[in-house]
Every structure is written in structure tokens, then in C-alpha cells.
């Protein structure tokens, strides 16, 4: 058994370093380190996901998990128990579309692999002296951290979800979440609140309905008209 400089604890077969029997990188906890694959080995069925701690002081298994759902267009999902609360969006060739802060830099690089054998994302640090993990905390937030030698503290590259509108299904069916508006949810064009009283009391869980358009009609029309509010509108997409 050997602890590598990467932080990977590896058990080799019979003293030979050519055959790995077990490695800690295949069994992540709440932290992803550089060089660690997060995702699915389709040959063995091994699925590497992050799991939060129960609390800041209790390393027991928490209620949040973060990993890939290979169905449809592969993307990463944050789950609270069995409830899906956030998604990264699909890979666009450079980053996951729902994480604009996730960009290549002179410090680190990302790689996304989707083959018949594997589905995973991995990142690497150009300077091995830099310590920069991903952390899923006990509140369900994902942070890309970097240790700052000069100020002797953790600095955050980015966190996700980044605001209220990032969470999955906040405005329910046919609702649009507004980042810069005192009213957080509005109905999409052609729809009305199912429960107007609840809606105007900031209870949006019933969503909107009663529209003449079908979901297919509305998505088709999106390419020809803009949701009221322009760039401040964010279609929720929970039908």
C-alpha cells in the first residue's frame, strides 16, 4: 500500500505497482482532488460521487450527493436525498454550461470523457505545489477552493449553486425565476399562477398552468421572442 503525492491511497497486488487492487480515488468522500475521476466506469458499474458530511463536526454520511446522471445529455446533479436540487448543465466543450465560472486557466485544466467504457470529469493543476480541491459541504454547496500561502486561508474560485434561482424547480411548472427582481417567480407567456393567492404570498410550489400553448409550442417560440425581463429572466424548465 502506498500514499501517492496526489493524495491517492493505492493498494497494489503482490508488491507489483503495475496492478492496482484498490485505490481511494475510486471511493471519494466529500472532496475531489486533482487527478481524481468523478463519474461512472461503465465496465464495472463503479460510480464515483461526492457525498457530504452529516455536519461540520460529523464526518458521517450526509444527505447531499453530487455526481453524474448518464441518462440523456450527461451532466452532473446535486441531490438532497432522493430530491434533485441542482444541475450543472451539459458539457459544451470547455465547461459545464450551467457553471460560467468554470473556465480553463493558467492554474488548472478540465477534461470531460464520455465513451462506451467511461463517463467522467477530471481536473488537473499545472503546479503540483498548489492545493486546490472541490468540496461538497454539509449545506449542499459545491466549492472549488484554493489554499492561499500568502494569507494562510482558503480562497474560493467559485461556488454552486450560486443563488436562489440556480436551485432546481424553484418556480415549478411553467415558471421563470428572476435573479434581479423583488418578485422571484413569474409565469411564462401564456400561463397564469395555479394558485394566485399563494403565488403572491411568495409560495410558488404549485407553478403555473392554464396556458393555450403546449410546452413544445413555447420552446419553439422561445427562439423568436424573449421572455419578459430580458437577460434577468431564467426559464425554470420544470414541467
Query: Which domains, and CATH codes, for the chain?
Result: 27-160 (2.90.10), 170-235 (no CATH)
pLDDT in tens, 126-149: 888 889 999 999 999 999 999 988
The counts of H helices and E strands in the chain are 2, 20
- Summarize pLDDT for 64-110 with one digit per residue, the tens: 999 998 888 889 999 999 999 999 989 988 888 888 877 767 778 89
Q: Work out the angle at residue 237's Cα, subtended by the Cα atoms of residues 232 and 239, and round it to the nearest 5 degrees.
A: 140
pLDDT above 60: residue 213 = no
Q: How far apart are CA 199 and CA 226, in angstroms?
A: 23
Cα angle for residues 134, 108, 91 (degrees, 5° grid): 70
Q: Are 177 and 236 in contact (CB under 8 A)?
A: yes
Cα–Cα nearest to 64, from 157, 161, 182: 161
Ramachandran angles phi, psi of 157, nearest 5°:
-65, -55
Question: What confidence tens digit (pLDDT) does each residue in 34-55 have?
Answer: 999 999 999 999 999 999 999 9
Cell numbers given for 23:
485505490
What integer pLDDT is reported at residue 53 of this predicted model? Answer: 97
pLDDT per residue over 165-206, tens digit each?
888 888 999 999 988 777 889 999 989 999 999 988 889 999
In contact, 154 and 146? CB cutoff 8 Å: yes
| Mean pLDDT of all residues in 220-239 | 48
Is residue 227 very low, low, confident or very high in pLDDT (cuts 50, 70, 90)? very low
Are the C-beta atoms of 30 and 51 separated by less than 8 Å? yes
Amino acid at each position: 500500500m502506498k500514499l501517492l503525492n496526489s493524495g491517492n491511497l493505492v493498494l497494489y497486488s503482490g508488491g507489483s505497482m503495475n496492478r492496482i487492487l484498490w485505490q481511494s480515488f475510486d471511493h471519494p468522500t466529500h472532496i475531489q482532488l486533482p487527478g481524481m475521476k468523478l463519474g461512472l466506469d461503465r465496465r464495472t458499474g463503479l460510480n464515483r460521487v461526492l457525498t457530504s458530511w452529516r455536519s461540520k463536526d460529523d464526518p458521517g454520511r450526509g444527505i447531499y450527493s453530487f455526481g453524474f446522471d448518464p441518462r440523456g445529455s450527461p451532466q452532473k446533479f446535486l441531490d438532497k436525498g432522493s430530491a434533485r436540487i441542482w444541475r450543472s448543465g451539459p458539457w459544451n466543450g470547455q465547461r459545464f454550461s450551467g457553471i460560467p465560472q468554470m473556465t480553463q486557466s493558467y492554474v488548472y485544466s478540465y477534461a470531460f470523457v464520455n465513451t462506451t467504457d467511461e463517463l467522467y470529469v477530471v481536473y488537473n493543476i499545472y503546479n503540483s505545489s498548489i492545493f486546490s480541491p472541490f468540496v461538497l459541504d454539509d449545506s449542499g454547496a459545491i466549492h472549488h477552493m484554493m489554499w492561499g500561502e500568502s494569507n494562510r486561508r482558503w480562497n474560493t474560485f467559485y461556488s454552486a449553486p450560486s443563488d436562489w434561482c440556480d436551485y432546481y424547480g424553484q418556480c415549478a411548472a411553467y415558471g421563470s425565476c428572476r435573479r434581479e427582481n423583488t418578485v422571484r417567480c413569474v409565469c411564462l407567456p401564456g400561463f397564469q399562477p395555479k394558485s394566485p393567492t399563494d403565488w403572491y404570498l411568495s409560495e410558488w410550489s404549485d407553478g403555473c398552468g392554464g396556458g393555450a400553448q403546449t410546452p413544445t409550442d413555447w420552446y419553439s417560440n422561445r427562439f423568436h421572442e424573449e421572455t419578459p425581463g430580458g437577460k434577468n429572466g431564467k426559464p425554470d424548465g420544470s414541467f
